[in-house]
Every structure is written in structure tokens, then in C-alpha cells.
Structure 1
């Protein structure tokens, strides 16, 4: 298969695409891929490291208020469409997949206008502006949350899940030892992290909770975020940190560690949710309030309704609320197991295979 992929701006658009590509190359080793991203997006760093060819173009989003910048946005979009048509003509893809971000709007629009089979993948429960725009042009839509289905109008929509789910299941390392992190094996373990950059409100709540965590029978590994580690350690100065608590800047080897986590405390990004539901990890979700259309709250609510997670809204988060929810799960193995089972029922451990099937359906149906 000759696959053109476009998605960028955030890891949530990039990592599902890379997971899909990884799986496609496993089942079809002769697959050729061209990734098209934004000139200033994270994809410029992430995609080349994955060994993929990357083409970039300049794009930007519309301002919600009246602004002259919107004229520039239209100009850049039209220019990107023209660039995309040239890339499509040169690469000759069998199908074009968009995973979100402004750049995918130009690429998928160009492909649809050129008569190339097109598919979009929506990772969140609230559909992004770009994917809403594209829905009227593409052949197929794939989703990761049932709540997204009704937001695509009359488009052909298939529930596939998020490809990161299958990737994390395939990479499960059953032999990982917590001793590498200075903790103990065989002890219930809670992991807390607010993303690679960390989250100040989560960090503050954990700092307040550490004196109580020190006294618990379970252990905690807490990632502050690379740039916030020194700030957190300054707050903890003069405060004892128990042997059962480890404070680190960043959690390396996440795919190896996750299967050995008994409870996860994290944001409610689509990639995280895909991973924890595929593995069946009880989770306390703290949605970021700083994302478009408040979609992390919607993502979290979808799991809470299924009994697959707990949620603490950021404006209700402090040391006390965190301890309350953590102790509820960490000190109750029955509650943890029930939530783990519910999470697995929501998960999609074959998400990449399902999305590959949608890509092939788009190709076959397009040329009927």
C-alpha cells in the first residue's frame, strides 16, 4: 500500500498515525509512506526519528474573533492545497489518511478533489474543527469514542479505537522490575504524571499529598515534567519523602512500565485513554481545562460513565481530593479489579487492524 498520512500540531495527532504505520508495515512490509506535516509542528521532530519521510507546509488556524490574520489563514490554506496536490501527484498514494490538525485539512481536501480515496481518524469524543470540515469530502471516518459518531452528519463512520491501543498492547513487557526506579516489586503501585511538560495544579496537589502518601502501604512514582522538577523539589525542601515515593522529572520506557501500574493519575488526552483502556488500568483522570472545546472533560466522562475511571476536575483538585480518590482505589483491590475489567471492555486492542480495514474499504469502495 502507498499511504500518505497527514496530522500534526500535537502528539495526539502524530502518535496514532505512527502506531498505524508501524502495524501496517508489519502486515504489509512493502508499504510506502509519506508523512505531510506542519512546518512548525511537533512532527518535525517526531516523524523523522521514526524513520519516515516528511514533507512540511505552512498553515495556521482561524482566529475566533474578526482579525486580518484570517485572510492570511485562507491564503496559507490555498497555498497548502496547491502544495499538497503536487505531493499527491508525485507520490501517487492509494489512500490518504488524516489524523487531525490544520495541515491535514489542506492535504485531505486536495486528495478528495483529485479523486484519491480519503479517510480521517478522530481521536477525541469532541470532533475537531478540521475533521468537521473534512467530513463532507472524505470517503470514510474512523473514531475512537462513540460520542463522536453523531457529530459527523451523514458521513460513513466506523468505530476503530485509537491505534496507540494496539501498539501499547504489542509492546507489553511482562518482565519489568520496579527496582530500576528504586521501588519494590510486588507492591501496589500508583503512577502520577501530567504529561511531558507536567501540570502545575497536579504537581501542587501531589506536593500536598506526599506526607500522606509516605504512610500508605502502596508506592507512588510521580513525574513532575522535565521543566518543573526543580520547582517541585524546592517546594518539597525540608519535607521528608518516604521510600515508597519516587519523584522524577519524566517517566522513561512508559510502554514497559504501564502494564505494571495498578492505578494511573493523569490528564485525559486521547492517547492516554487509548493506552489505559487497552491495558485495563484503573485511572483517576484530571482533564486539562486548557484544550479546545473542553474535549478532555468529555473524554473522561465517557470512561466515568462506563465505570472505567474516576475524574477530578482541576478546580476541585488539591491534596485532599487526590488522597481521597487514590486511597479509594489503592486500598481496595476489588474496586481496582472492577474498574480494570470495565476499562478493558471500553478498550480497542486491535485498533490499528480496524483502521487498516477502513483504509482498504475506502480504496475498494472508491473505485467501485
Structure 2
């Protein structure tokens, strides 16, 4: 059995595809799985590290206004469709799965035209343009958020599964994580991350909050600033008098599953997969959506989670140290509210999403 997966450009499309691929391998160890991407996307570096073959097509995203770049993108789309046609004819896959990003458009579309079972996985509450178009040709759309369903008007069957997360996210207990990280079990742990590269606005606000929380006996902060921001952040903290040892600053957290297991509260961006991991662990959050995300999808994600009582939202343009400190201190003082948010987060968690997606996608082959 041959399966092709495609999703690229950013890690938010690539890692869900890899997680689904790993689940397919568990269900069908003999499956021949390969990926399709572009030379420009992060998939070029990420996919080979996981041991899967990667084939390339030539395609580019479209700008929202007519320009010379739009014409170039149109020419690349034609080339991409031809590349996809070649791959489909040569590989003859039994199943094709797209996880978003413009790269999956040609390969999923061409496979659907050839009658090959196809499905897509949409991570966000506000779907991407490519997936909205593809929903008219594929058999099934797996939704990370129920709220995304109203934006799909194609013939595909919609299935709310949640977003696929890494299995290691569920492997650690709070006690194990606190011990591994050297944290105090008697204190509430606040986990702060602006993503793998950090977020300057979150760092700026947290600097003020951490100075205020420094030395407190009831709370500890584990904050990943991002590699590029770390030295400047530490220099500014030192200039302001530094912080006590209940404030732990790292450039990067190499074992996020352990950090998530230790967290009682998170200050995060609202990327779909990061949120799925928070929900799977039942971690309530203060969310600061990235304001430049395509179609503002991070705010849609954050609002969907907040509407269920699992998060508070502070917009990036409104973010200050005073606001984040006020939100944190309120939750530290009101354990009943924090407990309700934890229960709401856990209720939204879909830790088996990857397994459900893999099994239902494979079932399409038999139909």
C-alpha cells in the first residue's frame, strides 16, 4: 500500500503530517509512505530527519493583489500541477493526505482527479485557502476545531477529530516533570513560550511580570525567550536588578513535553498544534495570538478555546506587563477559577486525534 502525504511551508503543516504518517506506520507497518513538498519550505530539512522520502514540486503561494508575483505564482502552479501529475502516474498511490499549505494543492487535486482516495486535515479554526478549495474534491476533511466546519462548502464529509499531537506529549506526569526540571512541587508553575523562535512582545511583557513575581513563594516561571532574544533579555533583566531563582529563563526548551507536564498555567501564542498539546495536558492558558498569522487564524483559534472557558485572550497590540501580571495574579488568587479552566482545557483535548485520522483515512481505501 502506498500513501503520499503533503503539507509544508511551516512546521504547523509539517508536524501534523509526520504524526499522521507515524500512526499509519503503526496501523500498517508495511505501508510505503512518502512526502511531497517544495525546495523552499521547512519540509526540505524536517522530513528527511524522520526517515521518510521526500519528492519536490514547483509551486508558490499567491499574493492577494494582482502583480508580477501573481503571474509568476500562476506559472509555478502550472509547473506544480505537471510535477504532481508525474508523481501520481509514477507512484500510483492508494491514498493521498494533505495537511495544508499551498504545496499540498497540486498533489491532492491531481490525485482526486485520478480517482485516488484523498483527505485533508485542517489545523485551525479559520481554514487556509488551499484546504477550502481542496474540500470540493476530497472525500473527507478532518477538523482541528469544530468552528472551522462552517467555512467548508465542498462535497467532503467533515469529521471533528482535533489536531494530531506527538505521543511523547502524554508520556510524563507532573511529578516526574517537576523532578526532571528541578522545580518546586509546592509552587504553581507558569510556562511561557512564544514559539520556537520566541516572541518579542511576550518577552517584553513577561520581563515586567517576572520582575514583579520574583521572590514569590507561591509561583515559579519557566520562560523560553527564543535563541535570538535570550542575551538581550538577560542583559535587560540584569540592568533592572535581576530576578530570584523562582524565575527560570532559557533560550529554548528542548523537551517541551516535560515542560507541559509541569505547567499549571501557560502564556502562549495560539498556533493550532501548540494549543492542541496544551489541551491534551489540560493546561489552561493566557493566549496572545500572533497578529500577522494568515487570515488572523491564531486569534480565531484563541477565541474558540476561550469561548469554552479554557483560556484568557490578550491581543498582541494590547499586551503589557501590567495586563499579563494582572491575569496571572488573578488566577493564582482564584484557585477555583483555575481549576475550572483546567477541566475545560482537558475536555477540549483530543490526544487520540492522530490515531483516529490515520484509521479513518486508511478506511477510505476500502470504499
Q: How does 1:273-312 map to 2 (within 5 A)?
A: 273-312=275-314
CA contact (8 A) 1:263 1:330 kept: no
Give 3-state SS (helix, strand or coil) of 2:238's partner.
Answer: coil
Note the residue ranges of structure 1 that are not aligned, 5 or more in a row: none
* Counterpart in the other structure of 1:61: 61
Evaluate the alpha carbon distance shift between residue 175 and residue 85 of structure 1 in structure 2; reply closer, same or farther with a 3 A threshold: farther
Question: The residue matched to 2:176 in structure 1 has which SS?
Answer: coil
| 8 Å Cα contact 1:189-1:221 kept in structure 2 | yes
- CA-to-partner distance for each residue in 1:144-185, whole Å, 9 max, x for gaps? 111111111143111111111x63554335663445545324
**What CA distance in whole angstroms lies between the structure 1 residues aligned with 2:92 and 2:173?**
38
Matched, 1:162 2:163: yes
The more displaced of 229-238 and 34-43 is 229-238
Q: Is the CA contact (8 Å cut-off) linking 1:102 and 1:130 kept in structure 2?
A: yes
Could you tell me which residue of structure 2 aligns to residue 36 of structure 1? 36
Residue pairs, 1:258-269, within 5 angstroms: 258-269=260-271
**Residue ranges of structure 2 left out of the alignment (5+ in a row):** none
Instruction: Return the alpha-carbon distance in structure 2 between the equivalents of residues 174 and 204 of structure 1.
Output: 28
Aligned residue in 2 for 1:237: 238
Match of 1:205 in 2: 205
1:206 shift after superposition: 0.9
1:24-51 per-position Cα deviation (integer Å, ceiling 9, x unaligned): 2222222221011121111111111111
Indicate the SS of the match to 2:350.
coil
Deviation at 1:337, TM superposition (A): 1.7
Equivalent residues of 1:99, 1:120 under 8 A apart: yes
Name the counterpart of 2:351.
Answer: 349
How big is the shift at 1:100?
A: 0.5
Q: What is the number of equivalent residue pairs in this alignment?
A: 364
Q: CA RMSD in A?
A: 1.6
Give 1:189's aligned residue: 189
Shift of 1:135: 1.3
Alignment of 1:1-368 (within 5 A): 1-155=1-155, 156-164=157-165, 167-172=167-172, 176-178=176-178, 180-216=180-216, 217-238=218-239, 239-365=241-367
Give secondary structure in 1 for the equivalent of 2:126: coil
C-alpha separation between the residues in 2 aligned to 1:78 and 1:172? 47
Structure 2 CA distance for partners of 1:43 and 1:338, relative to 1, 3 Å:
same
Alpha-carbon contact 1:262-1:330 (below 8 Å) kept: no
1:62–1:70 Cα contact (<8 Å) kept? yes
For residue 240 of structure 1, report the CA deviation from its aligned partner. 2.0
Between the aligned partners of 2:174 and 2:36, the Cα distance in structure 1 is 36
What is the TM-score of this pair, normalised by structure 2?
A: 0.95
Paired residues of 2:309 and 2:341 also in contact (CA < 8 A): yes
